[in-house]
Structure 1
Amino acid sequence: MSIRFSLRVNNDLDLPTLTGLAVAGEAAHIDQLWVSNDLMLRSAPALLGALFQKTTRLHLGIGIMNPYSVHPAELAMIAATLQEMSEGRFLLGLGAGSGEFLSWIGIEQDKPLTDTRAALRAIRALLAGERPIDADGAGEGWTRDAYLRLTATHVPIYIGAMSPRMLAFAGAEADGVLALLFPPEHFTTASEIVAEGAAGAGRTMSDLDMPACVWLALDEDRAAADRALALKLAYYGAAFSPYLLARAGLTTADFTPALDALRDGDEDAAVRAITPQMLSLGISGDPDAVIRRCRELVGRGATHLSFGPPLGPDPVAAIEMLGRLVLPEVRRSA
């Protein structure tokens, strides 16, 4: 069985750092690199425009953009432009986004699934050289003048999904699904829901790409790896899906002490507030520990493993270690 690998990084990184990660990813034979577009950080479209000039083989994606803070027409413009610039290496991640982050700028997620579905259909129509007004379910407000004045192109669209309904929709309509797995073992349930959605639309899982999206911290020093993962969990934990946290026996409120400590600038206190139960939401440790968890995911049917932040205390060293020690062993056992 052939296994694919990808990396996911946050858009808090500056371009030199991100370039180093992308170059290391190509050297480690990584297939894809996804850059988040979280609010109030760096612009992922701008970063990818530069990264395409620094890489030759790596597929680069934005994971994810939402139709609330950026209109679907502009999402289609971004996708078409980056696909043209990259000569076919661009991937678009689309989803409803974080309700908590959107609240920072006064935006409410009125109908997350409905709005994401409408955006997908509108973007698809625009990229194909068509008009959303003619596309079923593309939403309201489009006129005959709403079409891209560019050559038609295809851009794979991955849906960022956590809830069962969003997962089923992704299976039915998307080219891929970015399902954050907290904990990683949630892959079994998530993939079953995606498969059911695909079957309902007359598709199979071979019609889409479903990476097993986990958070990773890899280092020869396990304590250092655990600390790196704990700091990411402290910042983002309160924004995680309540549905996923409940499956792990946790709530968003459980992360409040860690987040408060970060706000106070006390990283040590934030790390102490992350319990072993919280830490198990991701994968952390030395190469042997990471290989074991990856093999478990492959055993659950994963054919694409996607490693998200922090990657490790030293992300470039972690990527090098992935390519040299982890990925070959996972491939051999697949």
Structure 2
Amino acid sequence: MKISIRVNNDLPYDELLQLVSAAEAADVDQIWVSHDLLLRSAPVLMGALAARTERIHLGIGIMNPYTVHTTEIAMVAATAQEVSGGRFALGVSAGATDFLGWAGLERRRPMTTVRQSVTALRALLGHNDIAEDDLPDWWSSSSSLRFPPTSPVPVYIGATGPQMRRLAGRIADGALPLLPCPDLFGKISADIHSGLRDADRDSAAFDLPACIWVSVGERDAARRALAEKLAYYGQSFSPDHLAPAGLRPIDFHEAGRYARAGDLGKAVEFIDDRMMRLAVVGSPEEVIEGCLELRELGARHVSFGPPLGPDPLAALAKLGRSVIPALRSATP
């Protein structure tokens, strides 16, 4: 069982470094850092983390081709691969409509934009299975990095809807689908495998993390930590992501309004029990139970997302002591 951790780029660098160092010590395989708008720069953080770690793999999850051109994303990825000694992975998707709106950008033709960007990125980042007809219109004979990637960079798609998941199976090296509830992993996996079959690709080479949010700790404090994250991000979730949980983006409107104004105390008042079911909250034993469910559904990579707990370092220590060993020792 492969284990990864996902963290937001809202953490100060010294706190992030402590968390990543603890993850490396806890035998976590990979850490993903988000690149959400108007927070810290994930590419800068990747360079710093690569210099201060030895084994753990690093990823940006996600960048989008609206705020940064595909060629510049490729520059970031190839450089991160070089400075990390081949430990880097790149996540790409269309991004959230309201986040892009903060920069005055429209989320135009997301499927086409992501397809063209991911195809070009894989061509630039050392993959040789790209058909010339699939490359975007701007591609030319000059479209190549002036320094060769030290090794091909895996490119993942942040996929929430079924069409994007099938696209990931057709063209990407992995996907990062956030699970609104564990029993959806089978449906998500089926969409991915549909795309893999369409493109006649090897499913064994495709990485599909079961991406869940966890908050480990004393229940009230763990609930509060998760509620703050849901208040900030809930409104940006896609309708496809929320529908299986009986939720809509508009349900998070009031919480989001207060969270983005800095009033988390008021924001969490609008996070109800239905919303809390989007994550696993409570003890390590409850996390193990949820993850073993995922394993039964075929998951071979579990990715734990923020907030991890009211004290992320303490939560990570608990995951390392009990959850990770339990998952790795469980019979497939």
Q: TM-score range by the shorter chain?
A: over 0.9
- 8 Å Cα contact 2:126/2:153 also seen in 1: no
Amino acid aligned to 2:195: G
CA separation in 2, counterparts of 1:124 and 1:330? 32
Please state how far the C-alpha of 1:238 moved relative to its aligned partner.
0.4
* Residue 245 of structure 1: aligned partner: 242
Per-residue Cα deviation, 1:117-169 (whole angstroms, up to 9, x for no partner): 11111112222399x9x832221223332321112441011111011111001
* 2:222 paired residue number: 225
Cα distance in 2 for residues equivalent to 1:290 and 1:262: 27
Q: Does the CA-based 8 Å contact 2:213-2:306 persist in structure 1? A: yes
State how many pairs are aligned: 329
Unaligned runs of 5+ in 2: none
From the superposition, tell whether residues 129 and 186 of structure 1 become closer, same or farther in structure 2 (CA, over 3 Å).
closer
Distance 2:208 2:45 in 1: 24
CA distances 1:280-326 after superposition (whole Å, capped 9, x unpaired): 01111111111111111111111100001101111111111100011
* CA offsets 1:158-196 (integer angstroms, 9 cap, x no match): 111011111001111211110111123321211111011
Between 1:261-270 and 1:117-126, the stretch displaced more is 261-270
Unaligned stretches of 5+ residues in structure 1: none
SS of corresponding position for 2:176:
strand
Q: Deviations over 1:54-110 (max 9, x none)?
A: 110000000001111111111111111111111100101111111111111111111
Residues 36-59 of structure 1 deviation map (CA, whole Å, 9 limit, x = unaligned): 000101100000100001110000
The equivalent position to 1:166 in structure 2, one of 158, 164, 179, is 164
User: What secondary structure sits across from 1:29 in the alignment?
Assistant: coil
* Structure-2 separation of matches of 1:49 and 1:308: 21
Residue identity over aligned pairs, in percent, reads 50
1:86 to 84, 87, 90: 84
The equivalent position to 1:262 in structure 2, one of 254, 259, 262, is 259
Equivalent of 1:118 in 106, 116, 119: 116
1:281 paired with 2:267, answer: no
Matches within 5 A, 1:1-334: 3-128=1-126, 135-152=132-149, 153-219=151-217, 221-263=218-260, 265-334=262-331
Structure 1 residue ranges (4+ consecutive) displaced by more than 6 angstroms after TM superposition: none
Pick closer, same or farther for the CA change 1:207–1:260 going to 2, 3 Å.
same
Question: Aligned partners of 2:80, 2:205: CA distance in 1, in Å?
Answer: 24
Partner-residue secondary structure (3-state), 2:158: strand
Residue identity in the other structure for 1:76: A
Give the distance between the partners of 2:329 and 2:123, measured in 1 at CA: 41
What is the CA-CA distance between 1:246 and the residue it aligns to?
1.3
